[in-house]
Amino acid sequence: MIKKIILALFIINGLSACSDEGVAVIDGETVSKEQFEAYLDFKRIQIRDEAQRQDVLQQYADRIALTRAIEKLDSLDAAKIDAELDNFRQQLYISRYFEKYLKEKVTDQQQQNYYVANQSKYESDQAHVAHILFRTNRNMQENEKKAKQTAAHEVYSKLKSGSDFKELANQNSEDKISANKGGDLGWIKQGTINETFSEKVFALEKGQYTEPFETPFGYHIALLLDDIKTVKQPFESVKGDIRYKLRQQAKNAEIIKLNDSIKIKIN
């Protein structure tokens, strides 16, 4: 309802600027054809024939007339309505301008160029890892924690003696989900896991395993199952993020430029 009143106020404010015969005269003021066509476009009304046009025009004129009559009553807070109208006008100008500006400024080709120029941002090293975990937590007594460490070194000794990693994981790992798969954690992206775990794993070569090491989760023995590979995200999967980034950069730069073009003095 408020938007319709605001629209009518926009129309009334522009009536005096029109000099043609117009499509209607309301309270002595002319409504131009351009104003009516703009209204049809704003409401997305497709005129099929003259009868519909006259019907829509009558409704349009009735609403303007009703707004004019209410305005003459002077029963509403005009200053508040003006403030709401001005705020809506600001939002409309800003949103419509940047909708048009960014559509022209950030093209599909620019997004593609950014992707090509920043390949490293969309590549990641991944490792296929298995581990054997002996869980600890910060509430453990020191002797309990020491027992976990000892158990990890006992399993490590078995590995060095030729025991099978998968069997040891299945029998000893306290990460039960991976233990059922011989300790297999799948492919892990560098930087998305614990820093210490990542450093140990990505320093290995295929088939190598680590000595027991500690993380906040406990004591691990990790095995690299396959060669570390570099995976590149395809353009289509990151296109949305690139578009958002470029549009945000362009918008911020244009806001600064536009604000610099207008002098502001705060009293």
Domain boundary among the residues 45, 74, 103 is at 74
- Judge whether 195 lies within some domain: yes
For residues 221 and 130, state if they share a domain: yes
Q: How confident is the model at residue 19 (pLDDT cuts 50, 70, 90)?
A: very low
Mean pLDDT of the chain: 91
Q: How confident is the model at residue 267 (pLDDT cuts 50, 70, 90)?
A: confident
d(CA 104, CA 248): 14
Residue 214 pLDDT > 50, yes or no? yes
Degrees to nearest 5, angle at CA 220 with 216 and 224: 125
- Judge whether 214 lies within some domain: yes
Mean pLDDT value of segment 171-183: 96
d(CA 231, CA 239): 17
In eight-state DSSP terms, residue 20 is S
The pLDDT assigned to 195 comes to 93
Residues near 151 by beta carbon (within 8 Å), at least 6 away in sequence: 134, 172, 219
For residues 61 and 127, state if they share a domain: no
Alpha helices in the chain (DSSP H): 2-15, 33-43, 50-73, 78-105, 108-117, 142-160, 165-172, 176-179, 195-201, 235-260
Question: Token digits for 8?
Answer: 């009518």
Residue 177 pLDDT > 50, yes or no? yes
- For residue 67, what are the domain limits? 2-74
For residues 152 and 227, state if they share a domain: yes
What single-letter amino acid sits at 93?
A: Y
For residues 61 and 128, state if they share a domain: no
Domain boundary among the residues 51, 74, 97 is at 74
For residues 146 and 215, state if they share a domain: yes
Residue 103 pLDDT > 80, yes or no? yes
The pLDDT assigned to 4 comes to 47
- Judge whether 252 lies within some domain: no
- Judge whether 79 lies within some domain: no
d(CA 94, CA 70): 30
The pLDDT assigned to 20 comes to 56
In total, the chain counts a number of residues equal to 267
Q: How confident is the model at residue 191 (pLDDT cuts 50, 70, 90)?
A: confident
Residue 227 pLDDT > 70, yes or no? yes
For residues 69 and 133, state if they share a domain: no
Question: Token digits for 246?
Answer: 């470029």
Q: Give the lowest-confidence range in 20-29, 56-65, 106-115, 238-247.
A: 20-29
Mean pLDDT value of segment 107-111: 95
Q: Judge contact between 184 and 225, C-beta under 8 A.
A: yes
Task: Kindly list the distances between the CA atom of residue 52 and the CA atoms of 25, 33, 37, in Å, as whole numbers in the listed order.
Answer: 19, 16, 14
d(CA 254, CA 256): 5
Residue 83 pLDDT > 90, yes or no? yes
Q: Give the lowest-confidence range in 3-7, 102-106, 221-225.
A: 3-7
- Judge whether 107 lies within some domain: no
The pLDDT assigned to 193 comes to 85
| CATH number where 139 lies | 3.10.50.40
The pLDDT assigned to 9 comes to 46
Q: How confident is the model at residue 179 (pLDDT cuts 50, 70, 90)?
A: very high
- Judge whether 17 lies within some domain: yes
Give the dihedral of Cα atoms 260, 262, 265, 266; nearest 10 deg: -80
- Judge whether 247 lies within some domain: no
For residues 66 and 145, state if they share a domain: no
Could you give phi then psi for residue 140, rounded to 5 degrees?
-70, 145
- Of 235, 249, 255, 262, the C-alpha closest to 108 is 235
Hunting for tokens 């690139």 — which residue is that?
Answer: 242
The pLDDT assigned to 192 comes to 85
What single-letter amino acid sits at 102?
A: L
- Judge whether 118 lies within some domain: no
% the chain with pLDDT above 90: 88
For residues 48 and 128, state if they share a domain: no
Q: Judge contact between 11 and 31, C-beta under 8 A.
A: yes
Question: Token digits for 257?
Answer: 């430029």
For residues 62 and 138, state if they share a domain: no
Residues 229-246: tens digit of each pLDDT:
999 999 999 999 999 999
d(CA 58, CA 56): 5
Residues 151-169: tens digit of each pLDDT:
999 999 999 999 999 999 9
Number of domains in the chain: 2
Q: How confident is the model at residue 136 (pLDDT cuts 50, 70, 90)?
A: very high
Residue 43 pLDDT > 70, yes or no? yes
